Amino acid sequence: MLDSCFEHHNPISFSIRINHKHGEEKWLQTIVSPQLTKGGNLEKLIIVESDITELKTKEIELYEQNLKMFHITENLEKANSQLEQQKEEINQQKILIEEEQEKSERLLLNILPFEVARQLKSKGRAGTRFYKLVTVLFSDFKGFSQLSKAIEPKELVNYLDTYFIRFDEIIGTHYLEKIKTIGDAYMCVGGLPLRNNSNPVDAVLAGLEIQHYMAIINAENRINNRPLWELRIGVHTGPVVAGVVGKKKFAYDVWGDTVNIASRMQERGEVGKVNVSGDSYECIKDYFECEYRGKIEAKNVGKIDMYYVNRLKSEYSDDNLGLIPNEGFKLLVNKL
């Protein structure tokens, strides 16, 4: 360091720490400045020594504080990083929980009507209710026992699954509630759990559309030499009790003579037809073309007025087949 001062005439500065025997510590700063002659030669050195103990002490304290702050900041950054990671994991868990809840709710709504599912979630039970006016639709495939012998079981169930999925879609557009399937039988009801006065019309429209769908299926089956799936549909309107009973494997169901009579309407109907009782006919006669069949004996019920519903009346239809209601019809039905 002094060589630079002597040889290159550069001023130098350095600090030294002095420890006294009593443990006292001092810092001295020395500044050496060369003085040159006019000819540029070194004439003398001016040495200034200063006690910078206080300044150095502050500097060391500041350095230590900065070092502590650095470690604190570093730890905070690690902690923040861990918190962010935990937050992300919590959010992911929350998303998974919400997805599972949504799946559970969809499953519950697939088993129970919305209102009943809501009651079960909020109250833990739903119970039963009396409905003065609902319409029950039953469908059943004629000769299903013969079909089951002609078709492999797995293939048979696949056919049923395909047809019932389409039935679900059709009744959904007509505000009907699917109740259950029993083998090849399909049952749905209009007018519950939310009451309405249009349910006889809704059920008949659904029945006509289902039979039209099956007619298309069977036309394809004939071309391809496959077995025919011939469907009968019966409809009856009246009072029922509906709800959920029991605690295990519960299901929404309906009870009463109305259900039994609707089943008899299906049994006494013909393939490709929608057979309705006199009670249902009285509710729909202004809107549909119907064919009176007379009083027909129904098992365990007696003689009942029965009608085949052929189609919507032309003034209420938006298509040649009488399946699609026009706007005028919709306005009338909305006022029921």
List pLDDT tens digits, range 51-72. 777 777 788 888 888 888 888 8
As beta bridge partners, residue 304 has: 296
Whether 152 shows a pLDDT value over 80: the answer reads yes
Instruction: Please state the rounded mean pLDDT for residues 245-265.
Output: 86
Whether 73 shows a pLDDT value over 80: the answer reads yes
- The reported pLDDT for the residue numbered 109 is 66
Buried-state track 54-88, b at ≥16 Cβ within 10 A, e below 16: eebeeeeeeeeeeeeeeeeeeeeeeeeeeeeeeee
1 touches 14 (CB < 8 A): yes
The CATH number of the domain covering residues in 2-51: 3.30.450.20
172 touches 210 (CB < 8 A): no
As beta bridge partners, residue 296 has: 304
- The reported pLDDT for the residue numbered 1 is 63
Tell me the C-alpha distance between 292 and 285, whole Å: 11
Instruction: Please state the rounded mean pLDDT for residues 248-269.
Output: 89
**CA-closest candidate to residue 29, choices 10, 51, 4:** 51
Domain 2-51 matches domain 129-334 at the CATH topology level: no
Tell me the C-alpha distance between 164 and 153, whole Å: 16
Q: Cα–Cα distances in Å, from 114 out to 178, 206, 278, 325?
A: 12, 20, 31, 27
Query: In the predicted model, what is the mean pLDDT of the chain?
Result: 86
**CA-closest candidate to residue 261, choices 138, 139, 179:** 138
191 touches 336 (CB < 8 A): no
209 touches 323 (CB < 8 A): yes
Q: How confident is the model at residue 123 (pLDDT cuts 50, 70, 90)?
A: low
Non-local (6+) Cβ contacts of 326 within 8 A are 316, 317, 318
Written as one string, the DSSP assignment of 165-189 is HHHHHHHHHTTEEEEEEETTEEEEE
**Which residue would you say has higher pLDDT here, 122 or 167?**
167
Whether 247 shows a pLDDT value over 80: the answer reads no
Q: How confident is the model at residue 144 (pLDDT cuts 50, 70, 90)?
A: confident
Instruction: Please state the rounded mean pLDDT for residues 223-238.
Output: 93
Whole-number percent of the chain with pLDDT over 90: 46
| CATH label, 129-334, candidates 3.40.50.2300, 2.40.128.630, 3.30.70.1230, 3.40.30.10 | 3.30.70.1230
**Which residue would you say has higher pLDDT here, 138 or 124?**
138
Q: How confident is the model at residue 138 (pLDDT cuts 50, 70, 90)?
A: very high
- pLDDT tens digits, residue range 186-226? 999 999 888 999 999 999 999 999 999 999 999 999 999 88
Which regions of the chain does DSSP assign to beta strands (E)? 12-19, 25-36, 42-51, 128-141, 176-182, 185-190, 231-244, 252-255, 274-277, 288-298, 302-312
Phi-psi region of 288 (alpha: psi -120 to 50; beta: other; left: phi over 0): beta
- pLDDT tens digits, residue range 308-335? 999 999 999 989 999 999 998 888 888 8
**CA-closest candidate to residue 290, choices 278, 303, 308:** 308
Q: Where are the domains of the chain?
A: 2-51, 129-334
User: Residue 260 has which token pair?
Assistant: 């039994």
Q: How confident is the model at residue 21 (pLDDT cuts 50, 70, 90)?
A: low
The one-letter amino acid code at 77 reads E
Q: How confident is the model at residue 115 (pLDDT cuts 50, 70, 90)?
A: confident
The mean-pLDDT minimum among 42-46, 199-203, 253-257, 296-300 falls in: 42-46
- The reported pLDDT for the residue numbered 2 is 62
Instruction: Please state the rounded mean pLDDT for residues 122-131.
Output: 77
Residue 206 burial by Cβ neighbours in a 10 Å radius (0-12, 13-18, 19+): buried
- The reported pLDDT for the residue numbered 131 is 94
Whether 124 shows a pLDDT value over 80: the answer reads no
**CA-closest candidate to residue 243, choices 119, 92, 329:** 119
Whether 244 shows a pLDDT value over 90: the answer reads no
Task: For tokens 């048979």, name the residue.
Answer: 156
